[in-house]
């Protein structure tokens, strides 16, 4: 089983690929360009293994490629199941899933399952792989409206047997769950949107992310600014 950042840039897209080529594929977020990024990996479609998509929150740079990806899988005749997990109450993600189902239900060749998650929910992917959701702290901001209200946001920890093998924060500001979430992870992907040590309540700075990364055995900063 291996993992790789396919692409990650704040406000553009983030997608992380986790796969065991014979057993299953996990995508952590699917921003714009997800199909192009997967094809670059020379993955052949349709997949013969189940696909599990875990979405950290509803911002376009994390779920904007979902509709395209489902459409692509429908077109190529994917028959193995596709499962989507997302934070409970994420309107954007529910809207995208519902739009796909209502548009293509009769001609979708794969079984599509979706499931909303809350803090500490566990999903068993196989006998030895499970994913645990952790509540994060995130809110939107736009140039015209400034900082907006908090939105449902999760980080995901992938356990291999009892090993906390990989964690991904998604977008988040500092919160009480982060240290425990990151501690002793074999590898951590940590968001580092803010430059240097600039503080904001809904993103981490590079300095803070590096400091938190020391809790894990190894880490990579993602979601940096272009």
- Give, for 147, the enclosing helix (H) or strand (E): strand 146-151
What is the distance of C-alpha 39 from the center of its chain? 19
* Number of other residues whose CB lies within 10 A of the CB of residue 12: 16
Q: Which is nearer to Zn ion, 92 or 171 (CB)?
A: 171
Show Cβ contacts of residue 12 under 8 Å, excluding neighbours closer than 6 positions.
31, 32, 61, 226
Q: Which is nearer to Zn ion, 170 or 213 (CB)?
A: 170
Burial class (CB in 10 A: 0-12, 13-18, 19+), 214: exposed
| Residue 62 near residue 151, CB atoms below 8 Å | no
Helix (H, G, I), strand (E, B) or coil at 159: strand
Minimal distance, residue 171 CB to Zn ion, in Å: 4
Minimal distance, residue 67 CB to Zn ion, in Å: 18
Rounded distance, CA 78 to CA 112, Å? Answer: 11
Q: Which is nearer to Zn ion, 59 or 74 (CB)?
A: 59
* Number of other residues whose CB lies within 10 A of the CB of residue 164: 20
Q: Which is nearer to Zn ion, 47 or 209 (CB)?
A: 209
Minimal distance, residue 71 CB to Zn ion, in Å: 22
Q: Which is nearer to Zn ion, 61 or 92 (CB)?
A: 61
Minimal distance, residue 172 CB to Zn ion, in Å: 9
Binding residues for Zn ion, per CB under 5 A? 59, 61, 171
Minimal distance, residue 118 CB to Zn ion, in Å: 18
Query: In this structure, what token pair is assigned to residue 88?
Result: 């409970």
């Amino acid at each position: 089983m291996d993992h790789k950042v396919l692409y990650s840039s704040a406000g553009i897209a983030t997608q992380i690929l986790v796969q065991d080529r014979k057993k299953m594929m996990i995508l952590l977020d699917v921003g714009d360009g997800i199909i192009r990024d997967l094809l670059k990996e020379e993955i052949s479609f349709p997949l013969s293994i189940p696909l599990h998509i875990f979405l950290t929150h509803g911002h376009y740079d994390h779920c904007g490629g979902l509709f395209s990806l489902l459409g692509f899988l429908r077109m190529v005749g994917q028959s193995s199941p596709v499962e989507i997990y997302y934070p409970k109450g994420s309107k954007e993600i529910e809207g995208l899933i519902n739009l796909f189902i209502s548009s293509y239900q009769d001609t979708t060749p794969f079984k599509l399952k979706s499931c909303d998650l809350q803090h500490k929910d566990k999903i068993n992917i196989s006998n030895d792989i499970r994913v645990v959701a952790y509540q994060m702290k995130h809110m939107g901001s736009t140039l015209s409206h400034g900082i907006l209200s908090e939105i449902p946001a999760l980080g995901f920890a992938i356990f291999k047997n009892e090993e906390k093998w990989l964690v991904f924060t998604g977008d988040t500001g500092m919160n009480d769950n982060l240290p425990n979430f990151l501690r002793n992870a074999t590898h951590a992907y940590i968001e580092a949107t803010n430059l240097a040590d600039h503080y904001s309540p809904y993103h981490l700075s590079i300095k803070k992310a590096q400091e938190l990364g020391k809790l894990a055995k190894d880490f990579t900063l993602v979601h940096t600014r272009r």
